[in-house]
Structure formats: structure tokens, C-alpha cells
Amino acid sequence: MTAAVDLAALASADVPAALVERLRAARHVLAVSHEHPDADTLGAVLGICAVVEALGGKATPISSEPPPPLYAFMPGIERFRTDPDPAEAYDLLVLADCASASRVGGVAERHAALFAALPLVIIDHHASNTSNNATGEAHWIDANAAATCEMVALLAVRVGMSLDADGGTLAAALMAGIVMDTATFAHPNATPRTLTVSAALVAAGAPLSDISRRLYRTKPDVQLRLFGRVLERLATSANRRVIWSTLHDADFAATGTIAAHSEGIIDLLAQSETAEVAMLFKEQPDGTTRLSVRTKAGGVDATALTGLYGGGGHTRAAGASIAGGLDAAMATVLPAAERLAAAVAR
């Protein structure tokens, strides 16, 4: 059996028919990423737009904030808008890589009436996503997928698209999301299906090596200076099972960076040899604190920690927004993290 046949069989088995029919019936889809967009949500949105357009419809890709410069290499990234086109009549809202409109940022607040009026479809791989189809929605939530882009690649195959569409641009955008969410297949979330999908994307023209280099091995000098400031504040619990640091608003001005340059710091902290839980506390302009968490395989469930504060994500990587500044957030979170880490038996 060839890889192409394997992929078609996977797509037929895994992609909900109700989702395909909902997208096929839509005439103009509003496809929206989550706030603080990364390669997976951006690539998934672009892939969903390509699927809708292949089915004869129109689609508008939306991100509340302009995509960070890190993702400028992704084909089609220039299509993103921060708000819907007021001249268009949308008939379906698709959220990619998030559980609800509350996760997409300011665009949902600015266009609350439109978001409330449109039928909703969610395509997501977060284990903390509790959305279901009980009320007839055509949602597709697959916590076993390494990335939402993995799911969208299967969706494209399911509707009969060739993954090498537009000279491989679709494949490149989807591969970027998979590379980002697997750390170039280093995380334990990469499954045989992930590798099958990725092999097909490479065969379709996705430049895997270049994407990996851009996402994980290329950083502006100013970003390295930002990382240095955060690493200077590195702290650990008494038993070294919890490691954390802080990122201050002033750090951006001091280093000439922007918020998007903080991408990757938490994964650097997670390389600690001893820590079961790695955390980054990010000071936010609105006075809240953004918490990013990484944990080791077979240890603390990251969603068990972030879920205490209304957050979510994956077993090994999760986040939450916490009311109050850095000191208040750390006073609340650190004892909980230490309790969870202490319960791990190795």
C-alpha cells in the first residue's frame, strides 16, 4: 500500500462527514486563529481557506493581531486580516486551534454580533477542549493530533484536494504548524499518523529543513538579548523540581524586541535536567499575567495546573491568563506547581 493510499484511508476514517458537508455548503467562511497566533493556528486557518476555496466557496483568514514576523515565510500569510471585510456576507465561522471565540482575542469583541450570529465549526487538537457535537455542530476535536495542521491536511485529502496545490504552498503552510507543535518531531505527541501526514506534505513540496531552521534555529540578535534577560531571573524550587522565570514589559523596550520575540523562551526553560514543571510568567499590558507551562513526559499534566486558573492546552504544554501582576501570580501558582511536581515518582 502506498503512502498516498494510506493517507486517503486515514482521511476517510478520521475526518467527520458532517464537517465536510458544512464546509461544502458554506459560501463565505470566516476562518479565525487564536490570539497570540503561532504557526499551527496560522497554517490551519490558511489550510481551511484553501479547502473552502477548492470546494467553490470564499474564505477570509482572520487573526486579531498581525502575524508575528517569525511567520513571514509562510505562504499566504499576507492574506490575514485583523477584522472581517464589512463588504462581505459571511455564512460560517470556523475557529482553528482553539475552543471558543473567547480565545481568539479582540476581533471577537469588536464583532460580537457577527460572531454570535454565524453557525460555528471548531477544528482543534487541544486536550482541554470540551466542545462537542451534542447540539448538532460539525466540530472536529482530536486530542491525538500533534497539530491542528495535521488535521487540516487530512481534511484537504478528504475533500479530494492535492496537497501540492499552488506549487506546494498549502503543504508548506501546514508543515509549518506541525513543525512548530512537535518541535520538529522531538515532542512525544508526534504519532505514526503525524509522520504519515508529514511525509505526504514533504512529497508535496513542503521544505521541511528550511521550515525547521526558520522556526527553531534562526533568531534575531535582539531576541537573544531578550532570552538573556529572562534567563538571568531563572529560579528553582528547593527540590529543583520546578523552574521558572519572568518576562517584564520593560524587557521589550530594553532589548528592542516585541511580544512575538518571547516565542520559544518557555521551551528553553523546559530543557532543565531536573525540573518536572517549567513556567514562564509574562507581564501583560492590561495588568494580568500570562502563564506558560511545560512538563516532562510521564509526569505532571500541564492542563491540571493551568486548569486551576481557567487555562488549558496539552498534557505537556499549556497556558493560562491570571488576574493580577507577576508577584501575585507567582504567589498563587508556585505552591500549586510544587505540589504537583512533588507527587511525581520517577
- Phi–psi pair at 96, nearest 5 degrees: -115, 125
Per-residue pLDDT of 87-97, as tens digits, reads: 999 999 999 99
CATH topology of domain 3-216: inorganic pyrophosphatase (n-terminal core) (3.90.1640)
State if pTM tops 0.85: yes
Q: What is residue 237's predicted lDDT score, i.e. its pLDDT? A: 97
CA distances to 100, 108, 110 from 116, rounded to whole Å, are 11, 9, 12
Report whether 3 contacts 200 (CB < 8 A): yes
Whole-number percent of the chain with pLDDT over 70: 97
Per the listing, cell 500570562 goes with: 290
What's the rounded Cα separation, in Å, for the pair 132 and 299?
A: 28
Considering the four listed CATH numbers 3.40.50.1110, 1.10.1060.10, 3.10.310.30, 1.10.10.10, the one that applies to the domain covering 221-342 is: 3.10.310.30
Q: pLDDT band for position 2 (50/70/90)?
A: very low
Asked whether the predicted pLDDT for residue 135 surpasses 70, the reply is: no
Q: What is residue 133's predicted lDDT score, i.e. its pLDDT? A: 55
Segment 7-15 mean pLDDT: 93
Ordered by start, the domain boundaries in the chain are: 3-216, 221-342
Report whether 208 contacts 179 (CB < 8 A): yes
Q: CA angle, corner 22, sides to 158 and 47, nearest 5? A: 50
What's the rounded Cα separation, in Å, for the pair 346 and 121?
A: 41
What's the rounded Cα separation, in Å, for the pair 338 and 346?
A: 15
